Structure 1
Amino acid sequence: MGKYIVLSDSSEKHSAEELARNSGAHWARLGDKTVVWTASEKWTGFASKAIQAGISPDQAEGRELEGQLYLVIQTGRAFQDEHPEVRIVVEKGRYLVADLLPEEVSRLSESKNEWWTVRPLAVDSVIMDIVKPEARLALPGLQANIEAISQATYGSYLSSLVDFQTRHSLSSQFTSAAAWAVNQLQSFGYQAEQRQINVGSNSSFNVVADRPGSESGTRKLLLITAHLDSINIRDGKNAPAPGADDNASGAAGVMEIARVLAEHPAKHDLRFILFGGEEQGLHGSTQYVSELPEGEKTRIAAVINMDMVATLNTELPAVLLEGAPVSRSLMRELAEAAATYTSLIVQVSENPFNSDHVPFIDELIPAVLTIEGTDSSNNNVHTANDTLDHINYELALDILRMNLAVASKLLEIDNL
């Protein structure tokens, strides 16, 4: 058995990682919280060094582990709502550290759930970090483009999507929402269409809109994506599912960035995708990636995905950039754009889960999920309560500005 302690970077003057290394313990960091653990027989030595580092004797006593530590990643509060009995050691909204017995791990592994996952907790690792990149010199042309992001037009797209009673992927309302999106994108001048996908034994749609670049020869391809569907998992397929944050906020963000970029020709190819079947298991994005020719995959410079960008779960507006090692360069670009053009706090993680960036990452395509920052959980997703009155426009618009800045650079917009 073992013992653990949770240390706060904001209140402790020592380095939790250094303390763990010096005492033979293990650590894992989630933002401003670090859990440190070791075997019970080694705890006395650790506690002695912890007290020397300035930790109070009471805190240095630690807490007994009943099992082993695991990482849980969830959408909203899906895991906590389904398993309130589980012992949570650290809670940071999307990411949890749980103390699980072997029989609990076995039982959870048998659960089929699209909205949470349980993984072994990597030792001596950063699960989620807070980064503070240096702001760059803002480019005047890019600044003007970013200032074209409008709450009025973004809000109108958001309201139009929420007006559909549900956007469940297998509903007639989803089909209507997809047709609405195609019409909007065509009105901006893009080549837009619905493409049929399979959701189990049924069918739904992706919406795909293209604009070719002006560069001769081989051009790069930038994808800006979100899922269009919504779901009410508490009350069923036919229940109201306004999905204001999950994911009208991201889909409306695609529409708003498309509107702004329509006015700015670029060297490289631009594609917007609104995926269907996301809530049933990433069907739209998985099928899209599986059907890509190899040459098309290698052309993709980046995938910027927006999923839940408009609820404030942190004390100050924050964005979480979730990717993988293949996404590191793109994550750096997004973090620097956030520092340059917004006031967002930037969180980063290389633990991708359950959004449309994952199928791309699985094929080693650089993709990043841009999602609202996570300290507490969004309690309204997947319910009838995911409504416009919970939307934080300041947060959403800053995430759009960050994404637009990076998209403009990657596309090599003509007026920059």
Structure 2
Amino acid sequence: QTLNPYYQGIAEEVSYDTIYNRLQTFENFGNKGLSSQGLKNTAKWIIYFYTNLGFTDIKVDTFIYSGNQLYNIIITKIGTEYPNKYFIIDGHYDAANCPGTDDNGSGTVIVMEVARLLKDINTKYSIKFIHFTGEESGFIGSHYYVNNTVIPQNMDILLLLNVDMVGGTAGMTNDIIKCERDEAGQSQNNATSYAYTDTLATLTSLYSSMQTEISNAYGSDYMPFEQNGEIITGYYEYNENPYNHTSGDILIHMDPLSVKELTKAATGATLYFSQAFNASIINKDNIKNTHIQLFPNPSNNVLYINSDKNIYFTLTNLIGEKIIDSIYVRKGQQTINIKSISSGSYFYMFTNEDNKFEGSGKLLIK
């Protein structure tokens, strides 16, 4: 995986203030145990958030557990090429009879922000943004969803990314996140989970300042999916918050800056796994140096680059895969053979000999 400038631009839209304020709002609903009014109010807040954004496929699964009416909230964004194959990003919003700002307000606001950023982005695969309830009572909501939706519909799931308790600990350096792979239950899905988790770790480093540690998946809402043979991965905090499952699980005891960084990582990962692409027509190239010229554009077979300095030229497809990797272009005019490259839209980028950005744009190959 390499850095996709389009994905990076979207991930960089995450702001600290947005994350902080949303965590504070989550906390203000108070206790989120199964029978609490706080849990009901949090569900209403989440539903309103997606409705206000303009999502139209919002499903509220209502079910009874231990005499309590509970709600899973499922938002679906349809893919352009694979509408019936789903990338799922999820996080539970209930808590263990406490505010639960870290466990799991952190995962809740990350899923919400990723959804906001991707709402109008084209993706080849469909995405489900899911807020489960009843996780703290034994993955009640995710079990219900798997048994009543995934299995009956024979749902085709590309990958599930679970985000649970990722807020870090106040006063500590929270620059490492655990990327969790499947090492439990059914072994036939482990190898694929290993590969996806390695990819998740790479994407996390590309789109945020977070470092990663590979760990094992356990004790969260991905387990009912794992037991059904699905491919899972997840995020979990490296510095475990000592206030977990207590009244002290509040914002002042966690690190909202690390939540912001992980939101960027989760955004980049969701863009990559769902194969997001830029469908807009870019009419003006972003060239800092007006003495660099690329022509013709659209192009066919041969590309010409004129430059008044030695530069490097990189060409990527719309999901960030390098087609031409940093070839050296000497001062003057150079011819590049693109006959073997498939027709379509691509991103190009110029860097100088100090690896500094010189320009970028969109190239159409006929």
Q: Same fold (TM over 0.5)?
A: yes
Match status 1:308 vs 2:165 = yes
**1:269 aligned counterpart, secondary structure:** strand
* 3-state SS of 1:401 partner: helix
Counterpart position of 2:276: 413
In structure 1, C-alpha distance between the alignment counterparts of 2:174 and 2:261, rounded to whole Å: 12
SS at match of 2:79: coil
Deviations 1:301-357 (A, max 9, x none): 11111111111486551111122114112201111112222232211123x321111
Answering whether residue 11 of structure 2 is matched by residue 141 of structure 1, we say no
| Aligned equivalent of 2:88 | 223
RMSD: 2.0
- Alignment partners' CA distance in 2, 1:359 and 1:380: 26
1:260/1:380 CA distance change after superposition, 3 Å: same
Quote the offset at 1:392 in angstroms: 1.1
1:320 match: 178
Percent identity, please.
Answer: 26
Aligned residue number for residue 101 of structure 2: 244
Q: Shift of residue 293 of structure 1?
A: 4.4
- Measured against aligned partners, the alpha-carbon deviations of 1:206-233 in whole angstroms (never above 9, x if no partner) come to 1111121222x6542111100001123x
Asked if residue 197 in structure 1 is aligned to residue 55 in structure 2, the reply is no
| 1:389 corresponds to which of 224, 232, 252 | 252
Listed one character per residue, the Cα deviations across residues 246-291 of structure 1 (whole Å, up to 9, x for unaligned) are: 1111101111111111131222211111111111111001111112
Q: What residue number does 1:55 align with?
A: none
Aligned match for 2:262, one of 399, 408, 416: 399
Query: Aligned equivalents of 1:318 and 1:165: distance in 2?
Result: 28
Using the TM superposition, give the Cα deviation of residue 296 of structure 1 relative to its aligned residue in structure 2, in angstroms: 5.0
Is the Cα–Cα contact under 8 Å of residues 182 and 193 in structure 1 kept in the other structure?
no
Q: Which residue of the partner structure matches residue 136 of structure 2?
A: 279
More strand by share: 2
Structure 2 residue aligned with 1:95: none
CA–CA distance in structure 2, aligned partners of residues 393 and 330 of structure 1: 26
Residue type of the partner of 2:37? S
Q: Is the 8 A contact 2:174 2:255 kept in 1?
A: no
Q: 1:3-402, aligned counterparts within 5 Å?
A: 136-190=1-55, 191-215=57-81, 219-232=84-97, 241-294=98-151, 296-297=153-154, 299-312=156-169, 315-324=173-182, 325=190, 326-350=192-216, 352-374=217-239, 377-402=240-265
Give, as a single letter, the amino acid of the residue that structure 1 aligns with 2:211. I
Whichever structure has more helix as a proportion of its residues is: 1
Q: Distance in 1 between matches of 2:151 and 2:99?
A: 37
Structure 1's unaligned 5+ residue stretches are 1-135, 233-240
Distance in 1 (CA, whole Å) between partners of 2:115 and 2:95 is 21
Runs of 4+ in 1 over 6 A off after TM superposition: none
Query: Is residue 311–residue 395 contact of structure 1 (8 Å, CA) maintained in 2?
Result: yes
Give 1:156 deviation, angstroms.
Answer: 2.1
In 1, Cα distance between the equivalents of 2:105 and 2:174? 22
Distance 1:276 1:242, change over 3 A: same
Q: Deviations over 1:43-96 (max 9, x none)?
A: xxxxxxxxxxxxxxxxxxxxxxxxxxxxxxxxxxxxxxxxxxxxxxxxxxxxxx
Is the 8 Å Cα contact of residues 316 and 345 (structure 1) preserved in structure 2?
Answer: no
The question of whether the paired residues in 1 share the 8 Å contact of 2:101 and 2:250 is answered with: yes
Instruction: Give the conservation status (yes or no) of the 8 Å contact 1:179–1:194.
Output: no
Instruction: Name the CA shift for 1:166/1:188 in 2 (closer, same or farther; >3 Å).
Output: same
